[in-house]
Amino acid sequence: MGLDATSDEKTNKKTENIGRVNLDLTFYNGEDKYSDGQVEDDLLEIARDRSPAEFQDIIEESASWPVLYHLSELRENIVEWLPVDKSMKVLEVGAGCGAITGKLSEKAGSVTCCDLSYKRSRINAYRHQFCDNITIHVGNFTDVEKSLDRDFDYICLIGVFEYARGYVDSEDPYGDFLKLIRSHLKPGGTVVIAIENRFGLKYWAGCKEDHLGTYFSSIEGYPDGGVVRTFTDRKLIETARRSGFDEYHMYYPYPDYKFMTNLYSDRRLPNKGELKDNLRNLDRDRLLLFNEKDAYDTILDEGLFNLYSNSYMMILGPEPGVKFARYSNDRARQYRIVTEMIEQNGTCVVRKRALNEEAAGHLREMAGAYKKLAKRYSGRGCKLSIAPARLSEDGTVLEFDYVQGVSLEELLDGCLSRNDQEGFIELFKDYMKRISYGEDMADITDIDLIFSNILVNGDKWTVIDYEWTTSEVWKARDLGFRAIYCYVLEDKKRDKLSLDSIIELLNINSATAEELREQEMTFQKSVTANHRSLAEIRELIGYRAVDIETLESGSVSSGSGVNMRPQVYEDTGRGFNEEESYFADGFPFTMEVPSGRKAMRVDPCSAFCLVSIGEITWNGAPVPRGMLSFKSNGRKVGRDTYAFATSDPGFTINLKGLEDRPINLFSVDMKVTELDPETAARLG
């Protein structure tokens, strides 16, 4: 669809149409005061010439933080759950390249956007050119707002409030900005603020401040000045009150508001063990000063989560019914759903909601699976219950009663924390006995009987999630192996579990274990449609995480950031990621590797270098050179010698076909010589 520009001499109104989207340029002075440079030209070309259905492939191909940030569909999660409908008018301030505009357009009757940048507004318009309910005002908000309506049902400030001093010049810019926003709200309307927490745990743990890119600047009170300011929840609430808002509700997007997967609230805070996705350095390098999952568990014990949540979402207005939400929309389209905990007539209800028409079929399959599973586990002597599910008339929502109890996963973690291996084994035996009921006569198998999906309340064990079922007969042994496999993968601290005892209990040999792992990988790829996870994209982007041990050893120089210690990565089935990596003291090294790893990667250092490979062994046997590959950034320059014209060299060792013991010994010897960039470039 084409572009059409017009000007009304009587009203001095200047407009431009891109498809069905109207750009109002009346208050645009002809200059974009901020820009990300060339990447915005690239984004404009993508938005103009490519379909949104291609965006995920483009994100993976580009391996670029700005492309991920502006185009990822996961950005929409922060507003998807809001109770906006077609009778409502929405104002989006600071719409940028339109990361959430499309979702607002889909939900609301009309969406009015404001943004200072003409180029970003054009990107927004092109990517939503088929929407007929979007108007974008380009210009400074304090100029534009005078022409805006004053009866909006929702006003969204997503990643905007921290810049209020750039909008309003006063002694109280944040309070006055909220008063200005409030003047455009209809009675009973809602203002939505999403913002980083200045005390977010990621900042304490070694992430750089999101806006300034410096360590600890928000914690220290922004000593170097600047326009941007983030806040704790207490300061946000104080500002809202003095701006005339009497009703507020705090929500906690996790891991942060930009790529939210879970949404918590004061009515449903996280449980211990839930906060596992903490490697938040998609946009720049970071330090790893401590284990954030363990720190969050301690924080939850102390009741201080609101102080250390990485982000806040403040609702100024009526309380939404949603207490909790978990998004599963990094999957193939037919499996994209959201699980919500809501208040319904004074009762807590859990519901799974389809995020598109294709996913409604997935919910209908779950409803049918409930009936079969309930029948299978209804016999005399069965000690496993299936949480009942009710499908809505339109087939887009599956509803469950809220079940009280403690997850089996949490009980097993408790055993490990007490070093109670016997207690763990006894619980696992009980689990195996309960899930095996009726397996010989079953016409359905719940392959997702992982420990987090079972709630324990005394002797009553209830399966609360059965999203993945099959008519094929799976042995309880196979289900038990999958549950243990997923359990160990999720947390490095669970490696201290004695897998020998579990393998012996399941009567599984190494060949069968490998078959089951391959089956799991095939299943996961079918769920994601072979798209990369956010953790894998982070690896592609290539920003590093330097742990405290590296700092203590002094192997990271203050000037260049060069680390001459090898870093070792384990592929546990999710690809390589920093959370499953370790630093060795140097070459040669030998390390213990638990069962189930698909591949290993060795980064010899973080410098331009020449690497001569010595001996690489797995359980004492030499690894065939044919199982060794290196990143495309390296070049072979001699026998077993490679030159890397990059500060991110790496070798990958494929473990397929090698002996897999409960604990494997991995030994590597290499000689590494640091090169200056010019020499490395000539060799590479």
Sequence-separated (6 or more) residues with CB below 8 Å from residue 70: 43, 96, 97, 99, 123
Strand stretches in 329-457, DSSP E: 337-344, 347-354, 385-386, 389-391, 397-401, 406-407, 445-446, 454-457
Residue 542 clears pLDDT 70, i.e. is over it: yes
Q: How many Å apart are CA 566 and CA 136, to the nearest integer?
A: 51
Residue 134 clears pLDDT 80, i.e. is over it: yes
Residue 549 clears pLDDT 60, i.e. is over it: yes
Nearest to 306 by CA among 424, 191, 197: 197
Tell me how far CA of residue 333 lies from CA of 260, 354, 529, in angstroms. 18, 10, 8
Q: CA quadruple 114, 117, 120, 122: dihedral positive or negative?
A: positive
- Give the model's pLDDT for residue 639: 80
| First-residue to last-residue Cα distance in the chain | 46
Sequence-separated (6 or more) residues with CB below 8 Å from residue 474: 439, 445, 447
Q: pLDDT tens for residues 512-540?
A: 888 888 888 888 889 988 888 888 888 88
Average pLDDT for residues 455-475, to the nearest whole number?
Answer: 94
> Which ranges of 529-611 does DSSP label H, i.e. alpha helix?
534-541, 548-553
Residue 557 clears pLDDT 60, i.e. is over it: no
Q: pLDDT tens for residues 208-259?
A: 999 988 999 999 999 988 889 999 999 999 999 999 999 999 999 999 999 9
- Give the model's pLDDT for residue 578: 64
Q: How many Å apart are CA 422 and CA 428, to the nearest integer?
A: 10
- Give the model's pLDDT for residue 466: 95
Sequence-separated (6 or more) residues with CB below 8 Å from residue 647: 562, 606, 607, 608
Sequence-separated (6 or more) residues with CB below 8 Å from residue 95: 101, 113, 114, 115, 120, 121, 124, 136
On average, the pLDDT of the chain sits at 89
- Give the model's pLDDT for residue 281: 86
Tell me how far CA of residue 461 lies from CA of 384, 389, 496, 675, in angstroms. 5, 16, 26, 60
pLDDT-derived band at 560 (thresholds 50, 70, 90) equals: very low
Residue 561 clears pLDDT 60, i.e. is over it: no
Q: How many Å apart are CA 620 and CA 616, to the nearest integer?
A: 9
Q: How many Å apart are CA 300 and CA 272, to the nearest integer?
A: 7
Least confident of 353-357, 367-371, 573-577: 573-577
CB 456 within 8 A of CB 428: no
- Give the model's pLDDT for residue 558: 39
Residue 181 clears pLDDT 60, i.e. is over it: yes
Measured torsion, CA atoms of residues 323, 327, 328, 332, in degrees rounded to the nearest 10: 140
Average pLDDT for residues 337-345, to the nearest whole number?
Answer: 93
Residue 494 clears pLDDT 90, i.e. is over it: no
Q: pLDDT tens for residues 22-67?
A: 999 999 998 887 777 788 999 999 999 999 999 999 999 999 999 9
- Give the model's pLDDT for residue 535: 84
Q: pLDDT tens for residues 418-445?
A: 999 999 999 999 999 999 998 887 889 9
Write out the DSSP string of 488-532: HHH-GGGGGS-HHHHHHHHT--HHHHHHHHHHHHHHHHHHHTTPP
- Give the model's pLDDT for residue 93: 98
Phi, psi (deg, nearest 5) at residue 141: -60, -40
- For the chain, the domains span 547-683
Tell me how far CA of residue 408 lies from CA of 187, 273, 463, 486, 531, in angstroms. 47, 12, 10, 13, 30
Least confident of 151-160, 459-468, 646-655: 646-655
Which tokens belong to 77?
């999660």
Residue 17 clears pLDDT 90, i.e. is over it: yes
- Give the model's pLDDT for residue 596: 82
Q: pLDDT tens for residues 253-312?
A: 999 999 999 999 999 999 988 998 898 789 988 898 999 999 999 999 999 999 999 999
Residue 559 clears pLDDT 90, i.e. is over it: no
The SS3 of residue 460 is strand
Nearest to 317 by CA among 154, 106, 518: 154
Percent of the chain with pLDDT over 70: 93
Q: pLDDT tens for residues 387-406?
A: 999 999 999 999 999 999 99
pLDDT-derived band at 1 (thresholds 50, 70, 90) equals: very low
Which tokens belong to 659?
């002996």
- Give the model's pLDDT for residue 35: 72
CB 263 within 8 A of CB 254: yes
Which tokens belong to 432?
């195996």
pLDDT-derived band at 684 (thresholds 50, 70, 90) equals: low
Residue 682 clears pLDDT 70, i.e. is over it: no
Q: pLDDT tens for residues 182-202?
A: 999 999 999 999 999 999 999
Highest mean pLDDT pick, 92-106, 545-559, 666-680: 92-106
Sequence-separated (6 or more) residues with CB below 8 Å from residue 663: 499, 592, 593, 594, 595
Average pLDDT for residues 497-508, to the nearest whole number?
Answer: 81
- Give the model's pLDDT for residue 346: 83
- Give the model's pLDDT for residue 630: 58
Nearest to 257 by CA among 313, 319, 331, 320: 313
CB 102 within 8 A of CB 76: yes
Rounded CA Rg of the chain: 27
DSSP 405: S
Q: pLDDT tens for residues 123-133?
A: 999 999 999 99
Phi, psi (deg, nearest 5) at residue 166: -80, -20
Percent of the chain with pLDDT over 90: 62
Which tokens belong to 656?
């397929």
Average pLDDT for residues 402-412, to the nearest whole number?
Answer: 94
Measured torsion, CA atoms of residues 318, 322, 325, 331, in degrees rounded to the nearest 10: -90
Nearest to 194 by CA among 245, 236, 139: 236
Number of DSSP helices (H) and strands (E) in the chain, helices first: 22, 35
- Give the model's pLDDT for residue 562: 53
pLDDT-derived band at 680 (thresholds 50, 70, 90) equals: low
Q: What is the 3-class SS of 223-244, one letter each residue?
A: CCCCCCCCECHHHHHHHHHHCC
Phi, psi (deg, nearest 5) at residue 121: -65, -35
- Give the model's pLDDT for residue 538: 85
- Better-predicted residue by pLDDT, 646 or 91: 91
Residue 13 clears pLDDT 80, i.e. is over it: no
Tell me how far CA of residue 407 lies from CA of 292, 422, 455, in angstroms. 21, 19, 4
- Give the model's pLDDT for residue 136: 98
DSSP 152: E
